[in-house]
């Protein structure tokens, strides 16, 4: 698992950093995004749906995404 710290950054930066990080991990691995922008709670799951990645969980300001392809 890799962690991307986007705390203090506003939309769309957390999603942009997630998009750049996903290709760097193996299929099946998780990228954790730390983001305190309230929009991340909607933006990250929406990005996962659009890009066919698996939104695993949200826990406070941590969002886990599993690479599908």
Query: Does the N-terminal peptide bond of residue 43 adopt cis geometry, omega within 30 degrees of 0?
Result: no
For residues 27 and 43, what is the distance between their CA atoms, to the nearest angstrom?
22
Nearest to 22 by CA among 49, 4, 38: 4
Residues noted as catalytic: 11
R_g (Cα) of the chain, nearest Å: 10
């Amino acid at each position: 698992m890799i962690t991307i710290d986007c705390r203090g950054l506003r939309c769309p930066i957390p999603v942009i950093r997630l998009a750049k990080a996903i290709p760097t991990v193996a299929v099946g691995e998780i990228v954790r995004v730390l983001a305190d922008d309230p929009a991340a709670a909607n933006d990250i799951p929406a990005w996962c749906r659009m890009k066919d990645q698996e939104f695993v969980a949200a826990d406070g300001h941590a969002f886990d995404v599993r690479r599908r392809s």
